[in-house]
Amino acid sequence: MPASAPPSPTLELHACCFEKCSVRQHFKAERASCEELRGSQRGCNNVDLSVCKYTGPSCCTRKMEESYRAAVLRDTTQNIRSYSFELKYLISKHATAFQDMFQSLLSFSQSHLTSLFESMYTSISSSITTHIICLFTDLSRFLHGTGNVSVETAVHCFFDNLFPLVHTHIVNPGMSGTVSMGASDSNQLGDCLRMTRQDVNPFGTHPRLMAEELANAFRAGRLLSLALAVGSEVMNITDTAELSKECARALVRMHYCSHCRGLTLIRACSGYCLNVMRGCLASLSELHSPWKQYVAILQDLTHMVAEAHNLELALLRIRHHVDEAILYAQLHGPRLTATVDKVCGHSSNASSTTVRTFPFTAVTLPPTNSSQDVPGAEKIGMLAHLHREFMGYISRYKSFFSILPETLCDGEIGVDELTCWSGDDVVKSYEGRVVGNGVRAQRQNPEVRVRGAEPVLMEVKDRLEQFNQEIQEVMPGVGYIEFWDDDTGSGAETSGDCDDEDGCEGSGESVSTPALKEYDISKKMMEVPFHKPPIIRSKPSSGASRSMASIIIILTLGLQLFFI
């Protein structure tokens, strides 16, 4: 609502609502009920006020000042939270959407692998189900950052449990009755096969390739999941930050002291508003630098997860890796059986039936390197689309904490017109010095006295800086480029009136007030260090090698049948 022309001195002095207009009417600019009092020309004596001091008549009392103080703290806090709500909601919504999308991919991949055994390797489908569930549970726990789970360990554990089943049911079907493969299997041969699987190497390089592919794809996803959790926690803590007593006094002076003189429509000068809000939000502005770097890290991690669809492809190719591994064991059945006999000491006549009895149905053409040929290819790109939208929105908030004072002043107050309120009087323009952001810059603030940095917010700043540093230690280069872009930051001077000697750079000593949860990245990552962005390792000419394998199997069968 635009400000009206400045009232005449007589009207200004005698538009008094002292003790006859309720506080609630003051909040509504008390135009209607106070008009009658204006005609009475009744002045008010000067009262002992703590904030809205004035040598002439006043419409306020100490009780009204307290009511104004409670109202302005409530309104300002609500305004701050309304601006931060969108950012808070954006982060939490994306974290939920990312987890839901990943869980959907995980469920599809698990069903995809289960169907492989149900259609191709029926003799072990029921026994392998528990181990499939265990594998995907560990993958889910890794991405969520819960428990000491390693992708490599989960993958190799799955193949350790797969080996006894493949050896006794597929490579040597005659041994299937000699080994019980339950979850609590204590059979000596089964235990020996599990423990020596990596030394015997029955599946060739396929377990290692699958582990590396999944680990590379999951690392950036795990860090992104952790980063989103940190962002949500930062926003939750900053939402609870309280405004100081000095800030409350300055806000009352800016919003309501003009009311005490009958000026209910005049608004604060923009420069004056900036000084008040930068003083009130000095500690919050200190979060600008680590927050800006955090957003840059968030963008880089999001790009890594979405780039080349690594996460989707890694999950969808699990079935292919397992199928190739079982085929490798079949192709090397005689050598594998001989090795097992030497290592585990369990010779069996069933080994002689290895090549003649393995099922041809296991020989299937694998997906090529093109994502269109991967079963479930319609899911590829879903994460990329989700992340692309998020990156577009989050980039708008990299300077959120530094521009918050300006955002608040651009709302209902702070517009320069013909006249404005300077805190003391109606003026044509604010003549005070406009200071910059950050705690140190407030030493020159003429409107708000800032005694020091808020301990809780400084703890948040320290924790956020620590998190950023740990991310960059495990993944060098992430977040650096965007972080060094020139931008108004903590302690930066926007009016051009502040130099280095004025101490306009943000600061604040660290204190040990618990605020933000510590995230030990080095322990949570399990598989560091990172030396480059995740890259999916693909096997060249997999289709050709599989066709050649099929030819070898058929020739071998033909020769054995010939000699029989």
Higher pLDDT, 241 or 137: 137
Higher pLDDT, 133 or 479: 133
Range scoring the smallest mean pLDDT among 156-170, 243-257, 295-309 = 295-309
Let me know: does 279 contact 246? Beta carbons within 8 Å: yes
Q: What's the pLDDT score for residue 184?
A: 38
Band of pLDDT at residue 434, cut at 50, 70 and 90: very high
Band of pLDDT at residue 534, cut at 50, 70 and 90: very low
Say how far apart CA 549 and CA 557 lie, in whole Å.
12
pLDDT at 180 over 50: no
Tens digits of residue pLDDT in 34-52 = 443 343 334 454 567 888 8
Using DSSP's 3-state secondary structure scheme, residue 465 falls into helix
Q: What's the pLDDT score for residue 92?
A: 94
pLDDT at 547 over 50: no
Say how far apart CA 171 and CA 330 lie, in whole Å.
6
Q: What's the pLDDT score for residue 502?
A: 38
What are the backbone angles phi and psi of residue 156, rounded to the nearest 5°?
-70, -30
Q: What is the pTM of this model?
A: 0.73
Q: What's the pLDDT score for residue 195?
A: 93
Say how far apart CA 227 and CA 85 lie, in whole Å.
18
pLDDT at 190 over 70: yes
What is the overall mean pLDDT for the chain?
Answer: 75
pLDDT at 5 over 50: no
Q: What's the pLDDT score for residue 357?
A: 36
pLDDT at 348 over 60: no
pLDDT at 10 over 50: no
Tokens, residue 453: 């940095």
Nearest of 400, 409, 359, 428 to residue 490 by alpha carbon: 400
Tens digits of residue pLDDT in 62-121 = 889 999 999 999 999 999 999 999 999 999 999 999 999 999 999 999 999 999 999 999
Tens digits of residue pLDDT in 317-344 = 999 999 999 999 999 999 999 999 888 8
Tokens, residue 212: 């590396």
Average pLDDT rounded to a whole number, residues 174-193: 61
Band of pLDDT at residue 291, cut at 50, 70 and 90: very high
Let me know: does 403 contact 80? Beta carbons within 8 Å: no
The CA-based diameter of the chain, rounded to the nearest angstrom, is: 125
Higher pLDDT, 47 or 504: 47
Helix (H) or strand (E) holding 49: none
Range scoring the smallest mean pLDDT among 135-144, 177-186, 438-447 = 177-186
Q: What's the pLDDT score for residue 421?
A: 92
Tens digits of residue pLDDT in 456-502 = 999 999 999 999 999 999 988 888 754 444 454 444 443 434 443 33
Q: What's the pLDDT score for residue 47?
A: 63
Q: What's the pLDDT score for residue 321?
A: 97
pLDDT at 241 over 90: no
Which of 255-264, 416-425, 521-530 has maximum average pLDDT?
255-264
Q: What's the pLDDT score for residue 274?
A: 95
Q: Give me the percent of the chain exceeding a pLDDT of 70.
A: 67
Q: Which runs of consecutive H residues, i.e. helices, occur in 240-317?
A: 245-255, 270-280, 282-285, 288-306, 310-316
Helix (H) or strand (E) holding 472: helix 455-474
Band of pLDDT at residue 517, cut at 50, 70 and 90: low
Q: What's the pLDDT score for residue 378?
A: 62
Band of pLDDT at residue 123, cut at 50, 70 and 90: very high
Say how far apart CA 304 and CA 315 lie, in whole Å.
16
pLDDT at 29 over 50: no
pLDDT at 349 over 90: no
Q: Give me the percent of the chain exceeding a pLDDT of 90.
A: 48
pLDDT at 385 over 70: yes
Name the residue ranges covered by the structural domains of the chain: 9-65, 75-559
Higher pLDDT, 182 or 8: 182
pLDDT at 314 over 50: yes
Q: Which residue has the tokens 């959407």?
A: 97
Tokens, residue 162: 């797969």
Nearest of 376, 360, 382, 380 to residue 319 by alpha carbon: 376
Nearest of 488, 510, 508 to residue 498 by alpha carbon: 488
Band of pLDDT at residue 264, cut at 50, 70 and 90: confident
